[in-house]
Amino acid sequence: MSDSPTVDLVTLGQRLRHQRKSKNMTLEQLSEAVGRAPSQLSLIENGKREPKLSVLQALAGALEVPLQELLRPEAPSRRAGLEIDLAHFQQSPAYAGLGLPTVKGGRRLPADALESLVGLHRELNRLLTEQSATPEVARRANAQLRVDMRERDNYFAEIEQAAAKVLRSVKHATGPLSQRGILDIAAQLGFSLHYVNDLPGSTRSVTDLAGRRIYLPQVASGKGHDPRAVVLQTLGHFVLGHPEPADYGDFLRQRVEANYFAAALLMPENFAVEFLREAKADRALAIDDFRDAFGVSYETAAHRFTNLATHHFGIPVHFTRVHENGIVYKAYENDGVRFPSDVTGAIEGQPICRKWASRTIFQAEDPYSSFYQFTDTSAGTYWCTVHIESTRSGEFSVTVGTPYEHARWFRGGDTTRRTVSRCPDPDCCRRPPAALVRRWAGNAWPSARVHSHLLAALPPGTFPGVDAQDVYEFLDRRA
């Protein structure tokens, strides 16, 4: 509405019709009471006209109901709910592309026909969602998300402001955020935290929106997730006003924003920037120190550094999380480094050069100590600091890097360890040395380990990979 809160017009029309009929009023009688033509009210009841707030107030007065009764998001009856669903399905681009006529869901449509049409639409929508949720869709969505992050230097001012506002609301004045502070934030936002031992296996948390309860595992997952971060990420969805994700790209964007929000609370911008400023003045920037100062994981500290380094200090950076087998799981850059990518521009899932620090650390004599390296590449020389994290899925290297000229601000910027990478030249590390080829070509037959996810589409659903039945049954047990 032009001067009132946005509501679903189809639902509004159904609620208006329901209230009118419950008062045994005709359209003509209601139009006379509010001074509007019956044709105008018919358009509103059919969800085809956006009424002004003054008109809604007049209608509520004539029907002797509170204005909020017309604006409620729920359907007034089950039949009305089905009619609303039918209208929404027929407004979708997928249905419009079929070129089929629109079926009106009025009282002349038999109840069983309405049930059947809505059921068919739901199944069509489900199948279309499954077909669209392919690995290529995910790769393209992730590539676009990385472009957006690069354009902003991975700094989200609006999320920083939202996090700062939350911290002020609980009077957090200095230093890292404590567990007590997290409980205060949850309470301030109207949620209570409940730790359980039967959380669905496909989830890290489940939120009961009706009861304002957030369910969390009693024991940390052991996969590198900071239990504090899981709580704050969940709260972040609500603070940032996330609706249910419309597609896989929306799902990825919301996840990035929620993760950013959690880090901005665990490592508040003003304190984090002051800490980094002092370290830079001493030419002793170190992700290890940044991690220890705020009591977070190394990966969280590395991510947070990428949020702040370019925006506040003009230091371009890149970040990677690489499995011990050399496959990239996460990556970000705004410093011109050239990551391997497929034809869609996706980096995740690609093997990284064996000469890069993300790989060479696994061959180091003491890979769990501080590790620094310069790498000469076709895009320039880069300095990197790398740390290994162990998980149930194996070991991962977490890397933060920057161009050669910025290495002077970091501890370890004077390292003598140096490699040369000629990738994407296949002779760099993709093609076996000639001597090995001559000895073993035609005499090797490896049995490949094929992961089932390579053969399947992405998990379907509003929240990919989450079993809705498990979630609903869990909430039913806890209700």
What residue spans of 314-363 are helical by DSSP H?
357-360
Domain assignment of residue 397, given as a range: 295-430
Are 384 and 372 spatial neighbours (Cβ–Cβ below 8 Å)? yes
- 407 and 304: one domain? yes
- The enclosing domain of 422 has a CATH number of 3.30.450
| 188 & 123 share domain | no
66 domain-assigned: yes
Q: Which residues of 19-34 are buried (b: 16+ CB within 10 A; e: fewer)?
A: bbeeeebebeebbeeb
Give yes or no: residues 346 and 412 share one domain: yes
- Could you tell me which residues come within 8 angstroms of residue 309 by beta carbon, excluding any fewer than 6 positions away? 276, 315, 316, 317, 402
For residue 276, is it within any domain? no
Between CA 346 and CA 137 the distance in angstroms is 10
- Asked if residue 282 is part of any domain, the answer here is no
3 state SS of 232: helix
DSSP state, residue 407: G
Report yes or no on 274 lying in a domain.
no
- Look-up of token digits 């007049």: 58
Residues 148 and 254 in one domain: yes
Q: Is 64 helix (H, G, I), strand (E, B) or coil?
A: coil
CA 112-81-30 angle, to 5 degrees, is 110
* Torsion sign (Cα): 304, 267, 184, 230: positive
The residue among 96, 129, 162 that closes a domain is 129
Closest CA to 360 of 415, 317, 406: 415
Based on the fold, state whether residues 426 and 439 are members of the same structural domain.
no
Residue 1: the pLDDT is: 53
Tell me how many domains the chain contains: 4
Domain boundary among 129, 164, 180: 129
The total of other beta-carbon atoms located within 10 Å of residue 59's CB is 22
What are the pLDDT tens digits along the chain (479 aa)? 544 446 788 888 888 888 898 889 998 999 888 898 888 888 898 888 888 888 889 998 999 999 888 888 888 888 888 888 888 888 877 777 677 888 888 778 888 888 898 888 888 776 666 555 556 677 788 888 898 999 999 999 999 999 999 999 988 877 777 888 889 999 999 999 998 888 888 888 898 988 899 998 886 544 455 678 888 998 999 999 998 887 778 888 999 999 999 999 999 999 999 999 999 999 999 999 999 999 999 999 999 999 999 999 999 999 999 999 999 999 999 999 999 887 777 888 889 999 999 999 999 999 889 999 999 999 999 999 999 999 888 899 999 999 999 999 999 999 999 999 999 888 898 888 888 888 888 887 777 655 544 445 555 555 666 777 888 888 888 87
166 lies in the same domain as 218: yes
User: Amino acid identity, residue 13?
Assistant: G
Strand partners, 216: 195
Same domain flag for 236 and 193:
yes
Q: Contact 399/354 with Cβ under 8 angstroms?
A: no
**Rg of the chain in Å (alpha carbons):** 28
| DSSP one-letter string for 122-135 | HHHHHHHHHHH--H
Q: What share of the chain is helix, strand, coil (3-state, %, to 5)?
A: 50, 15, 40
Q: Note the pLDDT of residue 446.
A: 76
Residues 405 and 307 in one domain: yes
Beta-carbon contacts of 141 under 8 Å, excluding residues fewer than 6 positions away, are 247, 248, 249, 252
Q: 39: domain CATH number? A: 1.10.260.40
- CATH number of the domain enclosing 149: 1.10.10
Q: What are phi and psi of 82, to 5 degrees?
A: -65, -40
State whether the Cα torsion 70-71-74-78 is positive or negative: positive
How many whole angstroms separate alpha carbon 144 and alpha carbon 28? 53
Judgement on whether residues 425 and 405 belong to the same structural domain of the protein: yes
Same structural domain, 410 and 445: no
Query: Distance (Å, rounded) from C-alpha 34 to C-alpha 443?
Result: 89
189 found inside a domain: yes
In this structure, is residue 343 part of a structural domain?
yes
Residue 353 resides in a domain: yes
Q: 4 in a domain, yes or no?
A: no
Q: Are 294 and 267 in contact (CB under 8 A)?
A: yes
Report how far residue 84's alpha carbon sits from residue 13's, in angstroms, rounded to the nearest whole number.
9
- In 10 A of CB 156, how many CB atoms? 20
Residues 205 and 145 in one domain: yes
Q: Quickly count: other Cβ atoms within 10 Å of residue 94's Cβ.
A: 14
Cβ distance 351 to 326 under 8 Å? yes
* Pairing assessment for the beta strands 206-208 and 213-217 based on DSSP bridges: antiparallel
Asked whether the beta carbons of 342 and 138 are under 8 A apart, the reply is no
Q: Does 331 lie in the same domain as 422?
A: yes
Choose among 283, 380, 393, 388: nearest CA to 333: 380
Q: Do 195 and 217 touch, CB atoms closer than 8 A?
A: yes
What's the pLDDT at 305? 97
Amino acid at residue number 352: I
Alpha-carbon span 153 to 314, nearest angstrom:
10
Handedness of CA 222, 226, 228, 232 (dihedral sign): negative
